[in-house]
Structure 1
Amino acid sequence: MKKNLGVLIVSMQLLCCLLAGCNEKTEKTKIVYWSMWRKEEPQAQVILDAAKAFTRETDIIVDIVFNGRNIRSALLPALNAGEPIDVFDEDIERVSSEWKDYLLPLDEYTAKAYPTTEGKPYSTVLNKQLYNLAKELGGGTVKNIPYQPSAFVVMYNKDLFAQAGIEKPPKTWSEFLRVCERLKAIGVPAITVDDLYMACLFGYNMDRLVGERATLNMIQNKDFSGWQVLEFGKIWENMAKKGYISADAASNVWPAGQNEMAAGKVAMYLNGTWLPNEIKNRAPHFKWGAFAWPAMSPKGDGIEANNYGSQSFAVNKNSKHPEAAFRFIVWLTTGDWDAVLADESIGIPAGNNTPWPAQLAEANVIVNNTTNRLDWAVGMEKSPQIHAKIQENFKKLISGELNAAGFASAMHIDSRRGGNQIF
């Protein structure tokens, strides 16, 4: 009798649950992900497909909001307002600084193994340099997870190099000038630049002439009176006079520089590993090479010093589903989906064992051999005023409006205005 009564009670409970619509199989966890990508970008398309596969595998629903770059202004007000956002992404340094108050420490999650990490702790399968960078930016605690890494290097046209008889990329400035001369001989300007990357070009030259610390001191002290500024003027006055730099470079407004590359009008462009993806539709058969900006002076850094970084994922510390959010991050940054994301975006994978796209094979070597990570533009964009001043005077230098001495003078401290003014 008791047994029959128990069966009856269980049966009644199940019936009530079904009538109330409380079948556990229909109650799936949902996480909200605010993305930095636009829907039409290849990264977004891959992430959408990956999210569907993740839901099929885990029963965790991923609600994706594609903000595009507007996330930079929209995310913080949303977090402050308590919107239910579980995971978000953007540049690794921006996430670490601008949204630091909402970052959940992730060390306990990164120490675990997951199905796509082949039994290894998650922390051991990610790009080691970028994982260490995330830990450094988090003050010793990992608070965001790098993905879509990038490096700032010289991207070049391998076909044009071959036509000019250039067998290997340059490592020193004298080798670089020989490369420029060979390219000129086949009627191709060696290098281009545009307004977006002029400060980067200046910063890399300063680093190679006097080193990272001295370059950053120029910004901190607003002191551009050193010999390196005049030397830069001489170098690029000469580059322009010899026809080594594109005649359009002075007037180029981004993306004019990459358009020149896509059209095969120039051979080199100091830019990032994102470049092949940005022009793939205009130049689908482009053969890409990459090398680190050459060494220029015994006083400066060599090719071991480069800027690299990444986008990154973070989990909102107020998330109700932090473990589910982290599982989705693991899903995107390891295994098959890490490879698909790298292939479709022609980008660097996040995982150590994921193959790099063929277009970035030479960039892989550069990243692996980088022992000194430089700030973006080696600090030259930290001050909007200095950034603008570099653009203004560099344009005048390569157009012939200023010579080397005039460039150095234009960048020099005006002692009559307080002794510590660049303007």
Structure 2
Amino acid sequence: MKGYRKPIRQSMLLSISAAMLAVLAAGCAGGNEPGASQGAGGTAGGDKTTIKILQNKIEITDKVKAMVADYMAQNPNVNVEVQVVKDYNTLIKTRFAAGDAPDIFTTAGYSAMASWSENLLDLSNEPWMQKVSPMTVEGMTFNGQKLGFPMAFEGFGVIYNKDLFAKAGVDKLPTTFSELQQTAEKLKAAGIQPYKEAYQETFPLYHLLNLAFAYEKDPAASLAKLEKGEMKLKDLPHINEVFNVLDLAMKYGSGQESIGVSYDSQVSDFASGKVAMIHNGVWAIDPIQKVNPKVNLGMFALPLSDNAAETKMPISVPGYYVINKNSKNIEESKKFLTWLHTNGQKYLVDSFKFIPAFTDLKTTPELGPLATDMAPYAESGKGIPWTQNAWPVGYKEDSPKRLQAYIGGQTNRDQAIAELQKDWDNRVKK
């Protein structure tokens, strides 16, 4: 894999916002991100062709295994080995370096996919490519080649327990930061723990940091200035507000102990009614309902400021399946993706609970209340991009460490922002 450095295209993030309304108004979609765990779907045997798949969506590990088992039952000449892992970025690089690269793997779009682009097969002429939602195209297109199979649409916000809100007398969802504070106070006064944040994990932290970039009037222009050194992170008007959110979640949650809280622990306590709010996304619906299928939950956009008009929800395409162009099993890998699209309603939507990123796949009520609550933000133009997919490669992995140090009391706010800037500068230079 080669490093990637070039100026961010002005149209990159603008196209996300422009296409969002038209695409998501027709139907939205969820599911992916966090992670830890691993599964395998068989071993090679006889004259079977073996294709290897690596992905990072640990919350659907069992469902991925079931899908692979179905594929092998329908294609007895093919063996599929699948790994679903938490420390994904490290493992994928290790596998390529060791000469054990998978045939199919997952990657985010934009700069992340660009860094892999020389290793990826052009999928432009695959039969399913004509059915991908328009919003998915730019993030996977490089040198005129479409390199990805879009997995889903996702949104990130505050997931809340409706029954606990009602018990505390919260009858209006907060649309400003002050209202969010007041909501936390009401919950606390009612003997309800407002928050439990999983800051042992990296993804909630870079999702929060994304807000400082995504709330810019012109995110693409600001990212370009940051890359050129024409502005600094401390110049982002909303950067301090991200730290206000961290402070709020610690004050009304687990404090500095939040950096020891795992995703599984957070989800379990929320689902069982021990806490009222968590910062998370639509992908959390399935693990929450596994713990408690009757939990009465919803999701709203996380407010940063006291200007309600600014409160919007990050919505994007978080990941794509891609094919290693040096695979010895390219045709079988292409057949697998074609099969997955053909059966996408059964697996991507009904089983994985993804909000579909293909125009011929339909959302269903079974996708649940988080997808339902996400849709109006897109339909009303209150969606903002996931800028972390356009950050310099590696910065998404760097930044949570700085925020964890702040949460743990090892740095103050100014020091944390300065460290975030150093990491940014180092990644831009590579």
Q: Fold conserved (TM > 0.5)?
A: yes
Q: Does 1:389 align with 2:402?
A: yes
Question: Of 290, 297, 303, which aligns to 1:294?
Answer: 303
Relative to 1, partners in 2 of residues 1:294 and 1:145: Cα closer, same or farther, differing over 3 Å?
same
Structure 2 distance, partners of 1:215, 1:293, is: 22
Q: Who is 2:352 aligned against?
A: 345
Q: Does 1:374 align with 2:399?
A: no
| Consecutive unaligned residues in structure 1, runs of 5 or more | 1-26, 113-121
Q: Does 1:311 align with 2:328?
A: no
Q: Who is 2:106 aligned against?
A: 90
How far did 1:103 drift? 1.1
Q: Who is 2:194 aligned against?
A: 190
Q: Does 1:261 align with 2:278?
A: no
Relative to 1, partners in 2 of residues 1:148 and 1:322: Cα closer, same or farther, differing over 3 Å?
same
1:139-197 deviation per Cα after TM superposition (whole angstroms, max 9, x unaligned): 44211111144332222223323434545533333443443344334322333323233
Question: Of 120, 126, 131, which aligns to 1:103?
Answer: 120
Q: Does 1:201 align with 2:208?
A: yes
| Consecutive unaligned residues in structure 2, runs of 5 or more | 1-45
Q: Who is 1:33 aligned against?
A: 52
Structure 2 distance, partners of 1:410, 1:73, is: 27
1:86-134 deviation per Cα after TM superposition (whole angstroms, max 9, x unaligned): x41223338724532221111111xx3xxxxxxxxx3343343224432
Q: Who is 1:64 aligned against?
A: 80
RMSD: 4.4
SS at match of 1:257: helix
Aligned counterparts, 1:6-405, within 5 A: 30=49, 32-36=51-55, 41-52=61-72, 54-55=74-75, 61-69=77-85, 72-73=89-90, 75=92, 87-93=103-109, 96-109=113-126, 112=127, 122-135=128-141, 138-167=142-171, 169-195=173-199, 196=201, 197-204=204-211, 207-208=214-215, 212=219, 223-224=233-234, 239=248, 245-248=252-255, 250-255=257-262, 256-294=265-303, 296=305, 302-303=311-312, 306-319=314-327, 322-335=330-343, 337-352=344-359, 353-356=361-364, 357-359=367-369, 360-366=371-377, 369=381, 372-376=384-388, 382=395, 387-396=400-409
1:240-281 deviation per Cα after TM superposition (whole angstroms, max 9, x unaligned): 79x6x2144644423143343233222222222222233443
How far did 1:289 drift? 1.4
How far did 1:296 drift? 1.9
Structure 2 distance, partners of 1:375, 1:233, is: 18
The code of the aligned residue for 1:392 comes to A
SS at match of 1:346: coil
Residue-pair matches, total: 360
Structure 1 distance, partners of 2:399, 2:328, is: 44
The code of the aligned residue for 1:266 comes to V
Relative to 1, partners in 2 of residues 1:200 and 1:158: Cα closer, same or farther, differing over 3 Å?
same
Q: Who is 1:20 aligned against?
A: none
SS at match of 1:310: coil
Relative to 1, partners in 2 of residues 1:272 and 1:297: Cα closer, same or farther, differing over 3 Å?
same
Relative to 1, partners in 2 of residues 1:102 and 1:386: Cα closer, same or farther, differing over 3 Å?
closer
User: Percent identity between the aligned chains?
Assistant: 19
How far did 1:362 drift? 1.7
The code of the aligned residue for 2:350 comes to D
Structure 1 distance, partners of 2:246, 2:324, is: 47
Structure 2 distance, partners of 1:216, 1:342, is: 36
Structure 2 distance, partners of 1:173, 1:389, is: 23
The code of the aligned residue for 1:291 comes to F
SS at match of 2:154: strand
Preserved CA contact (<8 Å) 1:204 1:377: no
Structure 2 distance, partners of 1:41, 1:101, is: 29
Higher relative CO (Cα under 8 Å, sequence separation at least 6) belongs to 2
SS at match of 1:64: strand
The more displaced of 198-207 and 144-153 is: 198-207
Q: Who is 1:11 aligned against?
A: none
Preserved CA contact (<8 Å) 1:35 1:67: yes
How far did 1:318 drift? 3.6
Preserved CA contact (<8 Å) 2:133 2:357: yes
Structure 2 distance, partners of 1:392, 1:33, is: 37
Relative to 1, partners in 2 of residues 1:208 and 1:160: Cα closer, same or farther, differing over 3 Å?
farther
Give the TM-score of the pair, scaled to structure 2: 0.66
Structure 1 distance, partners of 2:291, 2:80, is: 29
Higher Rg: 1
Preserved CA contact (<8 Å) 1:193 1:270: yes
